[in-house]
Structure 1
Amino acid sequence: MRIQDRLTPIMLALLVWGFAGALFGALFTGLHRILLVGGLHAWLALIAATTAAAMTTTAFYSAMPIALVGSMAGVLTSIGYLIISGYEIELLKLAELAGGIGLLAGGFYAWIIPGGSRPLAETIAGLIAGVLAGFILSLIVHLIDLGVFVLAAGVVALVGTLFELLDQAVIGWGRRWLPGLISAPLVAGLIAAIVGGGIWLLSGSAASGLDTRTETAIALVLADIPPGLLGGLCGGAITSVILELFGFHLEDQI
């Protein structure tokens, strides 16, 4: 095999996994900080943030058109909510509304372009990988204090590896047991809810009249996102190269 033939899939995987890792890292660190500020136990916040970020990133990685439908639904719903509410923003209401509109948009997409259960199955694979990785990392963090950059890089590497190990088995299970009709709506609804939460965060950081506790929480979240994004980028890129060298054909999933 020529060197070029070997390097091409590695470079493609490095690029895609790097961007996916950056998305994962930024989302993970933001959610993790929000949950910590909200009073959730450290280990539970870590598992929840890892799981949510893993499911979201997996949806973008494996079902980009459906993820884009969910993103558009989340953005448009959030804009409408902000216009109507006059910047009186409630996170849960916005996320629920965006998720509901995402479900409808995903259902319309599934009606226009029928598909199988693969997107939902891979999102479930991301969920399982996220729970396992979050549990493992919670044990590690209990023993060793990790910075945001290292934590994001580690969680991306661990989730990515577990996802590749679980992916085919979960997809096979999904084809047998998951109805394809609900796949696109659920994935789009998840993405829309996450996008709505992100817009709540950005809108809250720009809004005036917030109480001191909320302003402090938003400032902490925004401070964590850059090192989390960079850590996720590095973790995803390095992990993709290692997996390719060990025989995982990541380019087949891109």
Structure 2
Amino acid sequence: MLSRERFTAIVVTLLVWSLAGALFGALFVALIQVLEAVGLSGWRPLVLAAMAAAMTTAAFYSAMPVAAVGATAGVVASIGYLIVSGPLIELPVISTAAAVTGAVAGSFYAWMIRRSARALAETLTGMLAGLGAGLALALLLSLYPAPLGSFVLAAGVVALVGTLFQLNEHWIVQACHGWLPDGLAAPLVAGLIAAVVAAGVWVVGGTSTAALDLETRSAIDQVLREVPAGLLGGLLGGSVTGLILELLGYRLEEHEPD
């Protein structure tokens, strides 16, 4: 029979992994659509989307304060851009402006509050996990070309990324200790998060902007159609993977957030 502490640990694990999986799944399928809309094709959208989504989720999962700074900076920069630009919303410009603002905010955070390279190490772990999962998924799709829905794609890649992250986090963070610059960690991570937030603002803002051409509006509509399936698939993949890892002995409570 499960003890009260063990039951609580399992419930918390399910909650955390479900939320992280939902965030990853929604970002993953949205980024695939955005990357395809800007001209990428083949395996590249899968791999790049998996890497970006994994880095973002790892930052929120492992370095919440820095991620919160980046998200806030992204919102502020996006609002400022919308005020200045009016109805004309360009993805590269709004993302770059947000990334710069996030980097500045991250530098201020590192100077005023805490200088630690752990946030960057965790984000790099997410990047490597996303790279491995994206390449594996691209290989699988090349061998079995039958189309897979966003729900299945998100559930599968979340399970693979989550497993790779959990299994490799400790040794990668330890390997990065001592050579990653403490002062650059927060700016880089905050800049990444801010850019992702700005891309989300571009998607949402584009639905109500008449100045966009038909092709861009069609791409944005496609992103919005795929996000719910990705979110649900990621939620399922995250919860199942988290439960399995918890039962195998990989304790969430052993994780030390930044």
When the two structures are superposed, what TM-score results if normalisation uses the length of structure 1? 0.97
User: Partner of 1:80 in structure 2?
Assistant: 80
Amino acid at match of 1:16: V
Amino acid at match of 1:140: L
User: Partner of 2:41 in structure 1?
Assistant: 41
Q: Deviations over 1:148-203 (max 9, x none)?
A: 10100001000000001110111111212112111111110110011011101111
User: Partner of 1:89 in structure 2?
Assistant: 89
Q: Deviations over 1:104-132 (max 9, x none)?
A: 00000011112321110000000000000
2:238 to 211, 227, 236: 236
SS of corresponding position for 1:88:
coil
RMSD: 1.2
Instruction: Measure the CA separation in 2 of the matches of 1:238 and 1:2.
Output: 19
1:163 and 2:186 aligned: no
Mapped contact 2:246–2:252 kept (Cα < 8 A): yes
Q: Which runs of 5+ in 1 are unaligned?
A: none
1:179 to 171, 176, 181: 181
Instruction: Measure the CA separation in 1 of the matches of 2:201 and 2:59.
Output: 19
Instruction: Measure the CA separation in 1 of the matches of 2:111 and 2:178.
Output: 21
Mapped contact 1:36–1:42 kept (Cα < 8 A): no
Instruction: Measure the CA separation in 2 of the matches of 1:136 and 1:145.
Output: 16
Correspondences of 1:109-120 after superposition (within 5 Å): 109-120=109-120
Q: How many residues align?
A: 254
Answer 1 or 2: which has greater helix percent.
1
Q: Deviations over 1:32-87 (max 9, x none)?
A: 01112222122111000000000000000001111110001000000010001112
User: Partner of 1:124 in structure 2?
Assistant: 124
The 10-residue stretch of structure 1 (202-211 or 43-52) with the greater mean CA deviation from structure 2: 202-211
User: Partner of 1:218 in structure 2?
Assistant: 220
Cα distance change, pair 2–221 in 1 and its aligned pair in 2 (3 A) = closer
Instruction: Measure the CA separation in 1 of the matches of 2:62 and 2:179.
Output: 19
Q: Which runs of 5+ in 2 are unaligned?
A: none
Identity of aligned residues (%): 53
Instruction: Measure the CA separation in 1 of the matches of 2:179 and 2:9.
Output: 32
Mapped contact 2:88–2:211 kept (Cα < 8 A): no
Shift, 1:217, TM fit = 0.7
User: Partner of 1:250 in structure 2?
Assistant: 252
When the two structures are superposed, what TM-score results if normalisation uses the length of structure 2? 0.95
Mapped contact 1:12–1:251 kept (Cα < 8 A): no
Amino acid at match of 2:161: V
